[in-house]
Amino acid sequence: MASQPKWLVWARKLQWISQNGITYSRDPYDVERFRALGGLAAEIIAAHTDIDEAIIGDAFAREVGPSTPKLDVRAAVFRRDDILMVREREDGAWTLPGGWCDVGESPSCAAVREVKEESGYDARAVKLIAVFDKNCHDHPPGLFHTYKLIFLCELVGGEARDSIETSAAGFFAEDALPPLSEQRITRGQLGCAFAHHRDRTLPADFD
């Protein structure tokens, strides 16, 4: 498992306790205590990063209901033996098309939608490649605990175009990958995608 900074592990646990406490408490005094606990989690993260405490607090405040891991989907779309990647405007680096699942859609549909929105290409999901716990891989630390689902997809049409979130789309060979947006994808996860492209009989990987 990739090493997570202790301060981040503690802050996430405090936020988890805070969110669940706010959700299930009926005593208004307890609710305020749990809100204060969430504020402490935001303060810890702000002290160890360059993110403003108010921004972190706002992100936590938008999380309602029982606290559970978030679900990120990624699509591995191949043209012959090259994989489709998009360049993120946020950091100028490259990743597989993908993002958060929307309420009311299945994970595979979310992956296909993200391909269209971020690259301009049309795709069809054909196989689940992996279910990964982001904490178990070499991603930079993030606010929330996240599971990543990667789908193998077939290219069925469309053409490259940019989007609000992405500035380019292109196909890359395994030995000629561009700089990676490591918050979103790792070299090891891309290696897994290439392996499943070469052998579709492989079972899905998981953590």
β-strands 166-172, 98-100 pairing? unpaired
Distance CA 86, CA 171 (A): 9
Distance CA 153, CA 90 (A): 25
Q: Is the pLDDT of residue 1 over 60?
A: no
Domain that holds residue 23: 6-61
76 shares a domain with 56:
no
Asked whether the beta carbons of 150 and 115 are under 8 A apart, the reply is no
91 shares a domain with 45:
no
177-189 confidence digits (pLDDT tens): 999 999 999 999 9
Question: Among 61, 84, 104, where does a domain finish?
Answer: 61
161 shares a domain with 86:
yes
134 shares a domain with 165:
yes
110-147 confidence digits (pLDDT tens): 999 999 999 999 999 999 999 999 999 999 888 888 99
151-163 confidence digits (pLDDT tens): 999 999 999 999 9
How many distinct structural domains can be found in the chain? 2
128 shares a domain with 167:
yes
Asked whether the beta carbons of 153 and 124 are under 8 A apart, the reply is yes
In this structure, what DSSP letter does residue 123 have?
Answer: E
pLDDT averaged over the chain? 93
179 shares a domain with 86:
yes
Among 171, 137, 129, 155, smallest CA distance to 3 is for 137
Residue 1 forms part of a structural domain: no
pTM of the model: 0.79
185 shares a domain with 98:
yes
pLDDT class of 64 with cuts at 50, 70, 90: confident
Q: What pLDDT was estimated at residue 65?
A: 83
